[in-house]
Amino acid sequence: MNRMLTATAVMLGFFCGSANAEEVKLPADVTKYVEQREGCDHFRGEVPAPPDAQRMREIEREIRKFCTGTDKKLDKLKRKYARNQAVLNRLNEFEENIEVPRRKSEF
């Protein structure tokens, strides 16, 4: 039983270590984008229950902070690293065209 737990822990460490090692190999601009976009996606998934107007304002502020410009950045990075399959695999994990078009009154 103890050997089975140890073997499981070693395998889990191997797989987690491999995933983290691949993340480290990403270029700095891609790593920065991934961090920003993960923050964006986090707040896009936040919906207070029960509805809370103050919390929604906070969430909307964070969405503007993290999500603004991510559509263009994603496209630019995909074009820049079009020949780097590891980078493309990571970037392809993100949904495209997530930004809400700004209304003319917001300019």
**pLDDT tens digits, residue range 65-76?**
999 999 999 999
Q: What percent of the chain has pLDDT over 70?
A: 72
Instruction: Tell me the range of 2-6, 87-91, 99-103 where mean pLDDT is highest.
Output: 87-91
Domain coverage including residue 49 = 26-106
Q: Residue 18: its pLDDT value, please?
A: 46
Task: Quote the number of domains for the chain.
Answer: 1
Distance of CA 92 to the CA centre of its chain: 11
Grade residue 105 by pLDDT with cuts at 50, 70 and 90: low
Whole-number Å distance between alpha carbons of 33 and 77: 9
**pLDDT tens digits, residue range 3-18?**
544 444 444 454 444 4
Residue 56 lies in a domain: yes
Residue 96 lies in a domain: yes
pTM, two decimals, is 0.71
Grade residue 57 by pLDDT with cuts at 50, 70 and 90: very high
Residue 81 lies in a domain: yes
Is-contact 63 43, C-beta < 8 A? yes
